Structure 1
Amino acid sequence: MNLTISGHHVEVTPAIREYVQGKLERVRRHFDQVIDIAVILTVDKLREKDKRHKADINLHLSGKDIHVESLAHDLYAAIDTLIDKLDRQVIKHKDKIQNHQHDAIKHIPDPESVETD
């Protein structure tokens, strides 16, 4: 699995890198078939007092790409919200995969072969 963490108008410090990696462990715990992860952290200065922190993630799974973004006034809050959204989408994707595998046509009983009394 490849993990890329980059920053636009913000320096990605080792503390931020470890924080993101620690949060991504939750996603890996639910679904371990992750191929590639790209995290982009951005800080936009709207005015002197207002700063908008944005966190984007592109998660490449086998058969699906998931993109999630989050906005907050604090970078760590944006990362937390991002991971919560990503976790929900990964669980939803995992449930879809598991449900489709169990509903195969060959496992559904044929109504003609079922005997009735």
Structure 2
Amino acid sequence: MDIVITGRHTQIKQKFRDVVESKMNRVTAIAPDAQRVQVVLTHEGNPRQADSAKRVELTVIAGKTVVRAEASSADEFAALDRALDKLTLRLRRTRDRRKDHRRGLEHAPLPMEVEVEQPQEPAEAPNPDNSAQQDAMASDLGPGESVEVQVGDTPIVIRRKLHIAEPMSIDEALYEMELIGHDFFLFVNKETGRPSVVYHRHGWSYGVFEIDTPENVAGGKK
């Protein structure tokens, strides 16, 4: 397994590299098919954030599966331990899910409440006069490509990026959201074909926000 360690606003000391490499056996023990782990150590220079000045981000790539975790502390080694604890928990869940599928068992539903919300009327968006800005926002993007556009004379910058995703169920989207450690996950619902977002509300409660056009809804699209 390749181990890539990088620093943001800080230099990586050899001791930290040695500790990272010695602890990565926890990853390979749970995910022997892991091909690469990326470790990013970030230093926050704001003295008011001394208690969380060091942040460690861990990303494991195993085939098409990407598992991510991060944690902060005043000390980079403590941050590493916390992030690694989160990562190994998510790796175990991934391993157990694969075992269930191989045994032909249905994945047990999460003890959760899912609320599907209807989209509200969109707020009026900024309307920049600059035609170049409009062209950039309307232009076609290739997979993985991105573009950033500043809105008029304001400090607002909008970044567009195209992601390619396979349609999936709500349960699969919640699972992917948990793996990457985010509070939301954008996906295409394979049951409805609609662009959708799952998000964490509180406790074991989750929400699903679906998007469609008035024409499709009026036409009876399900």
Instruction: Give the TM-score, by structure 2 length.
Output: 0.44
For residues 49 and 86 of structure 2, what CA distance do their matches in structure 1 show? 28
1:26-78 Cα deviation digits (max 9, x unpaired): 11112210011111001101127826110001111123111111111111100
> Which residue in the other structure is 1:68 paired with?
69
Q: Give the partner amino acid of 2:84.
A: I
Q: Secondary structure at the match of 2:11?
A: coil
Gaps of 5+ in 1: 105-117
What amino acid is aligned across from residue 80 of structure 2 in structure 1? I
1:5 aligned residue: 5
Distance in 2 between residues matched to 1:32 and 1:53, nearest whole Å: 29
Q: Offset of 1:79 from its aligned partner?
A: 0.2
- The 3-state SS of whatever aligns with 2:36 is strand
Q: What residue number does 2:18 align with? A: 18
- Inter-partner Cα distance in structure 1 for 2:14 and 2:79: 17
Which residue number in structure 1 is paired with residue 30 of structure 2?
Answer: 30
CA distance in 2, matches of 1:50, 1:30: 33
1:45 aligns with 2:45: yes
Structure-2 separation of matches of 1:8 and 1:49? 16
Letter in 2 for 1:28: T
Specify the alignment match of 1:99 in structure 2.
Answer: 100
* Uncovered stretches (5+) of structure 2, i.e. residues with no partner: 106-222
| Root-mean-square deviation over aligned CA pairs | 1.9
Local SS of the residue matching 2:71: strand
- Whole-Å separation in 1 of the counterparts to 2:94 and 2:48: 41
In the alignment, residue 69 of structure 1 is paired with which amino acid? E
| Match of residue 108 from structure 1 | none
Q: Which residue of structure 1 aligns with residue 60 of structure 2?
A: 59
